[in-house]
Amino acid sequence: MKLKVRKSRLWKLYNLVFPNADINTVYIAFGRTIFIPKYGITQDLMIHEMTHLYQQKHSYFYAWIWWFKYVIDKKFRYSQELQAYSKQLKFAYQSFKHKDRNIAFKQRMQMKDSVAKTMSHPMYKGMVSYEQARKDIEGVI
Ligand SMILES: [Zn+2]
């Protein structure tokens, strides 16, 4: 696996399809490479992007097919993101879980809320509603 701190050549294509995405916050997983914005990547995001590499079978060839499906098929896009966000969420929660039960509960609610908001953001072109995403990640943490 490679990490590249630069814009992927795919960015222009990506931006064409997802015009609401912000270059400074977009990570692109492609085959065996993760392209990251200049300020770096957090561990939980790393888990997210590594899930996409796994989904692409760690293959540059398969990555093209994966991306094609990802772009044209909303359901496929959601299935892939749901898996990636679930792993990310699990990791983040386990790393930052508060010892106090009540605070940990609040934390869990906030994390799920934030992930559901991100998944229903226009940058994903309406792949899921907030309510559906919130429901689907309910059992993750
Ligand atoms: Zn993703």
| pLDDT, position 80 | 98
- Give the distance (Å) from ligand 1 centre to CA of residue 97: 23
d(CA 39, CA 32): 20
- Ligand 1: distance of its center to the CA of 105 in Å? 25
| Locus of tokens 């010892």 | 99
36 vs 43: CA distance, rounded Å: 12
Domain ranges of the chain: 2-136
Compute, in angstroms, the gap from residue 92 CA to the centroid of ligand 1.
Answer: 15
Going from the Cα of 103 to the center of ligand 1, the distance in angstroms, rounded, reads: 28
The pair phi, psi for residue 33, each rounded to 5°, is -125, 140
C-alpha 98 to ligand 1 mean position (Å): 26
Contact 24, 32 (CB under 8 A): no
Q: How far apart are the first and last CA of the chain?
A: 28
pLDDT at position 62, please? 97
- Closest-CA residue to 32 (of 8, 58, 54, 9): 58
How many angstroms does the Cα of residue 75 sit away from the middle of ligand 1?
14
Q: Model-level pTM greater than 0.75?
A: yes
Rounded CA separation 6/18 (Å): 19
DSSP classification of residue 122: G
Predicted confidence (pLDDT) per residue in 37-73, tens digit: 888 899 999 999 999 999 999 999 999 999 999 999 9
Q: Which of 55, 43, 5, 12 is nearest to 27 (CA)?
A: 5
pLDDT above 90: residue 15: no
Q: How much distance in Å is there from the Cα of 100 to the middle of ligand 1? A: 31
